[in-house]
Structures are given as C-alpha cells and as structure tokens.
Structure 1
Amino acid sequence: MTLSYLTRAAVLLVGTAALTASLSAQARELSVSTVLPDAFPWGQAAEKWAELIEERSDGRLTLRVYPNSQLVSGDQTREFSAMRSGLIDAAVGSTINWSPQVPELNLFSLPFLMPDEAAVDAVTGGEAGEMVFEAIESRGVIPLAWGENGFRQLSNSQGPVSEPEDLEGLKIRVVGSPLFQDTFSALDADPTQMSWADAKPALTTGAVDGQENPLSVFDVARIDQVGQEYLTLWNYMNDPLVFAVNQNVWQTLDEVDRELLRETAIEAGKWEIAMTREQESERLASIQARGVTVTELTDEQHQAFVEATQSVYEKWVPRIGEDLVEAARSAIDAR
C-alpha cells in the first residue's frame, strides 16, 4: 500500500511538473523598445500594440514596453543593432534611428522628398515600402507594420526662419545620422549631433540654438519653455515608425502567434497614424497660444530650401539605392 501511495504521489508530482513546464512554455514575454514614453504618440503606439496582444493572446504572449531607450542606455541609434543581436526582442522604432544599420531607411530623411501625408502613404504603402521592408529583413529583423512620428519642423531661439540664409551659423541639434549633418550643412547651419536625452539641457543652456522634431514632440516636451520661441513649418522630412521583431525570436513562434503579432502591429500602427495626424492642428494651436511665433513657408520660400539641399541627393541617392528612390518618386507623382 505504501509503495502504491508513493507511486501515485510520484506520478502526480511528475504530472504537475510537466503541466507547469507546459504552461511556462506557452506563456512568453517579449521586450519592446521605444524611444519616447506614452506621453507621446510614439510611446502610445507601443503601448497599444502591447494592449492588443494582451487582449487577444489568452495569456500566451505579452509585450513589455521599455521606453526612453532604456534597453540601450539612452543611445537610440543602437536600438536596431540591439534588436538584431537579440538583446531586444522587438521595437517600435524610427527610420532615422535605424538608418545607420539599414541605409535604405535614409530614403525618408531625404529633404523635401515627401510634401504631404498622401505622399508618405504612397511610399510606405507601395513598392518602395516593400523594398524598405525587404532591406530590414535582410539584416535579421522582421518588419511588421508602419507607424508615424510625423513631419519634422524647425524651431530656434534666435528669430524667424523663412529662407536658407536665416539658418546661417545657427547651431541645430540633430540626431545621429550623417544625412542630417549634410542637410543642415548644405543650409549653412551648424548641425550638432546629440541624443534626445541631451537635447533639452543643451537648448536650456543655449549650447544649441535650435532643433527639429514633429509638433507632437515640441508640444508634449514643451520645447518653447527652453527658449524655442520661433517655429518654422517646412515639412522637410517625415519620420515613419516601424513595428519589428528580432528574426530569431520570430522563428521560435508558431504561426498563430506570428499572425497575431503582425495583425496587432498593423492595427496599432493605423491607430497611431490616424491619431498623430488628427492632433496636428490642435497641437499647433496650443503651441501658438503659448506665444511661439510660427512661420509658414510660401511655395517660393519652400522651393528655395529644396534647391539649397540638392547636394544631399547627389551624395545620398547612390547610398540609398537609385531604384528605391525612383520607386518612391514614382509613387509620390502618382498619388
């Protein structure tokens, strides 16, 4: 009787252990990196993705969002490399920040390439967008969906900017992308590379005169409170976001969870793009109400900036890929 009892107990323990192991194997948490927290649309995109996964995975899969580039010690340009190597499972990242590792992403940083939101959608939703996703995947990361950080506008503390000559000598904070250095150098400004974590203190002390960011960042971060009294709406480039997963992580998931990750990323991306665009006019009104002087370029003024930055195309189109740039231009022309 004692042996039978012990046998039954042993079987029960083994069964319990097997069940626990099975449940542990089924429940999986993936780390998701993003640069901005959920006070910004960018961070909200990552949180929305995590929320949708939690609702629909029945506990099999969860996404834990790490904002402020904390998984790469604040260095946003290292995010893609960290995801590719497996230090990060997934990310909602900027095409700008990932461009040092994926040169094709510099397409979106070409100055004045995409004049409006319809042009952005034509590029991301067409052949050029597919080519960009293929370039990302070839480097060990699976792209799933597009989001949007928005058109980047220019602000400074010195005076209105309505023509290239107004930028001469101004120290402008730019992200760690050589293309940005070349763009502002072409405009005779003094581009100063630094992370976003360092940018606001530099603006506060006057170490730099200006910066460029979407209206959402200007508004939520209250950039006007650090001397940025002049804002130029010039739509010089748009910064799409990409929802993506490390390739090795992707391969360990079954088809059901792969499809779940993709469909929720697409849904979160569409939600975030719509929200970002809908809030633009409200954000601009709020910024103006705080006393910021806003300059909107005429067609002639806009063209002057276009012509002043043509040297950037001569240098960067071969690096990005002529076929890719041509596909983007064709999509924009046909929009």
Structure 2
Amino acid sequence: MKLRTFLTATAAASALLTLGLPAAHAQAPAGYKSEYRMSLVLGTAFPWGKGGEIWASKVREKTSGRINIKLYPGVSLIQGDQTREFSALRQGVIDMAIGSTINWSPQVKALNLFSLPFLFPDYAAVDAVTQGEVGKSIFQTLEKAGVVPLAWGENGYREISNSKHPIKSPADLKGLKIRVVGSPLFLDTFTALGANPTQMSWADAQPAMASGAVDGQENPVSVYTAAKLHTVAQKYVTMWGYINDPLVFVVNKEVWNSWTPADREAVRQAAIEAGKEEIAIARKGMVEPGKPLLKDLAANGVQVTELSAAERDAFAKATRPVFDKWKGQIGANLVDAAEKAIAARKQ
C-alpha cells in the first residue's frame, strides 16, 4: 500500500509538472503578491521605460520567478499625475517605481539639488554626485521619507526646444510659453529667464505643442527623439545642459519588508545592474564623438544650436539668483558638498 501511495503521489506530481504549473510560484513565501506594480512616467520606447523592463526581467531571473513585476508607464496607476507618484508609493498604491528627482522634489526637498540651474557641467559631475557621498546622503533622506531607494538611473540632460526661433541668449526666451513639470524651482528658473513657464503633465504637453498652446519644452534629447517632437513644431533645439535629471529605483517599504533577506538583496542587485545599463542607454548618442543623436535631429530638419562657454555662462548668470534662493531651501551643506564633489571629479 505504501508503495502504491508513493506511486500515486509521484504520478500526481508529474501531472502537475506536465501541466506546466509554475514551480516558482509554489516556492514564493507567504505574503508575496502574485504581481508587483512598477510605476514609470515613460514607456519602453524611452531609456526610462527600458530601465524598468530590464529591472523587472533581472528581478524575475534572480528570484527564480518569486517576484514578478508589471510595468505601468504613463504613471497610469495615478491617472497620469506624475507629481503624485511619490505619495502614492509611500501609501502602497504603487509597489515600486523608477522615479524622477524632479517629480519627487516637491515631497523631498533635497532632490531639488539636481534641478539647480547650471550646477552640473558634464556627465562626470553628475556621476561624482550620485555615486559619491552626496548620493548616499540623499538615499538616507529618501529612506526617512518612507521608501527604500536602491540605485540611480538617468533621464538625462534637459535641453530646450521651441517652435519660434533659435535660443542663444536669455533674451531669446522672453515671452515664450515653455511647458514645465510641476516644480516651483522650474517656475522660478524660467520666470528669471523671461519666459512664461506653463505647468502640465507630459501626456498633455504634446497636444499642447501641436496646437501651439505652448511654444516649447525642455527634455533630454533621447526623449525628444523617441517622442518625435519635430512633428509637433519643435524645430529649434538648444543644447544648454542646464540641469540633469537622475532617476531613482525604489520599493515601497512594506513591500520591501515582506520579502526574505535573500530576495531583497536580489532586487537590490538587479536595480544596481539595471541602473547602470539604463544610464548607458540614456547617454547613448550623446557621449560618443560627434554626438550622433544631434545628427539625427538635423536629419529631421531640426536646427540645433550648441552654445559656447560664454553663451552658457550668460544663462547661468541670469538664473544665479534662483540658485542662491533655492540653495537655502535644499540645504546649504548638501549643495556645498555637491559643488565640492563636482570640483574634485575625474574627467
């Protein structure tokens, strides 16, 4: 009888395997969700969304399928309102996210560091800050704010485009309606430059450009290219590199605590690896000799303006009062530490 019982059990197990039932799900500890929700502003056509896809894939592989992630681009879990993403993440509406330091800066003041105009002269400066002690300090601040930060990614340097004329000096911005994200620092910066900053979500921005409701926008060239902004009258692009927009890979604290220590480490390592790959994708075409992405723009009939050091400095001087005003709100010590790290960077 014992042998027969054993054979029956074995046959049943074989049948389950034959049916293709996922063994990994059976191994998932109690308290794990069948699927975790990852919020993203942009989809997989953009480096940002691609980073989410890579992270999800690596997590699934490293946890043997115990943690499965579904991507929700267009911040669709919160009806497209990217400024609500951080709050929704803390509340558990979102399980994990790759978020923009800009979008989260209203809730976490320290993140405004990356939106200080003309602080980061090059990619080496960005890396010196995010990958050094300042980056660690910001992660500690995020942890205190109620989320678990794991790795840095990057949306990129935000360049300005418009439908009217080339922008080479602050005077060229006078009166232009420029779409900006919901950040008071952005409103201050563009007001100081004489523009008319208009706050709206990315979902609303493209129709607004197509209709002429706004004249221009500022975003990384990779976003401009993927979104085909030359088709919505954005014929003039100026490479002014006024701010860089790092991304942060994070997990909701309760979700994080529900995982085993081994799976937490797997998710962390997956985020670090995905972050490095995502940054490389975001910079592709801009770090190689000749900046191939700019040639792609020109091929679409876009007039690309590259500023001289003196021309860029004129924009920096015009926005210096904004820099000084916000330095105190962000934390003078943090800004000073970032400036020291930038000054000491290896190029």
| TM-score exceeds 0.5 | yes
Find the aligned partners of 1:142 and 1:316 in 2 and give their Cα distance. 26
1:187 aligns to what? 193
1:164 equivalent among 159, 170, 176: 170
Q: What residue in structure 2 maps to residue 9 of structure 1?
A: none
Which residue does 1:324 correspond to in 2? 334
Secondary structure of the residue that 1:231 maps to in structure 2?
strand
Query: Are residue 304 (structure 1) and residue 341 (structure 2) matched?
Result: no
Structure 2 counterpart of 1:55, from 57, 61, 73: 61
Partner of 1:314: 324
Separation in 1 of the partners of 2:176 and 2:74?
28
Measure the CA separation in 1 of the matches of 2:270 and 2:285.
22
Q: Which stretch of structure 1 is more off in the superposition, 127-136 or 182-191?
A: 127-136
| Contact 2:236/2:303, CA 8 A, preserved across alignment | yes
- Matched letter for residue 283 of structure 1: L
> Following the alignment from structure 2 to structure 1, what is the Cα–Cα distance between the partners of residues 224 and 26?
48
Map Cα deviations across residues 71-128 of structure 1 (whole Å, 9 max, x no partner).
1100011111100111101001100011111110000000000010000000001111
**Identity %, equivalent residues:** 56
Residue aligned with 2:52, SS: helix
Question: Which whole-Å CA distance do the structure 2 matches of 1:309 and 1:21 have between them?
Answer: 54
Q: Distance in 2 between matches of 1:144 and 1:157?
A: 39
> Is the CA contact 2:75–2:82 (under 8 Å) kept in the aligned structure 1?
yes
- For residues 125-144 of structure 1, what are the structure 2 equivalents within 5 Å? 125-144=131-150
Q: Secondary structure at 2:68's aligned position in 1?
A: strand
| Equivalence for 1:268 | 274
Which position in structure 2 is the counterpart of 1:220?
Answer: 226
The Cα of 1:25 is off from its aligned counterpart by 3.7
Which letter maps to 2:342?
A: I
Moved more, 52-61 or 263-272: 52-61
CA RMSD of aligned residues (A): 2.0
Letter in 2 for 1:90: M
Q: Which amino acid aligns with 2:104?
A: W
Partner of 2:301: 291
* Structure-1 residue corresponding to 2:19: none
Residue segments in structure 1 that go unaligned for 5+ positions in a row: 6-11
State the shift of 1:282 in Å: 2.8
C-alpha distance in structure 2 between counterparts of 1:133 and 1:211, whole Å: 29
CA spacing shift, 1:216–1:108, aligned 2, 3 Å:
same
- Determine if contact 2:28/2:66 at 8 Å carries over to the other structure: no
Question: Quick check: 2:162–2:217 contact (8 Å CA) kept in 1?
Answer: yes
Structure 2: distance between partners of 1:57 and 1:248: 18
Maintained 8 Å contact 2:97/2:251: yes
Q: TM-score, normalised by structure 1?
A: 0.92
3-state SS, counterpart of residue 336 of structure 2: helix
Per-residue CA distance 1:140-192 (angstroms, 9 max, x = gap): 10100000000000000110100001101100000000000000000010000
What is the TM-score normalised by the length of structure 2?
0.89
User: Is 1:102 the counterpart of 2:104 in the alignment?
Assistant: no
Q: Runs of 5+ in structure 2 lacking a partner?
A: 6-11, 17-22
SS at match of 1:158: coil
Give the residue type in structure 1 aligned to 2:266.
Answer: L
Match of 1:124?
Answer: 130
Q: Show the counterpart of 1:206.
A: 212
How far residue 249 of structure 1 moved from its aligned partner, in angstroms, is: 1.1
Aligned counterparts of 1:73 and 1:301: Cα–Cα separation in 2: 40
Q: Which amino acid aligns with 2:270?
A: T
Q: How many residues align?
A: 322
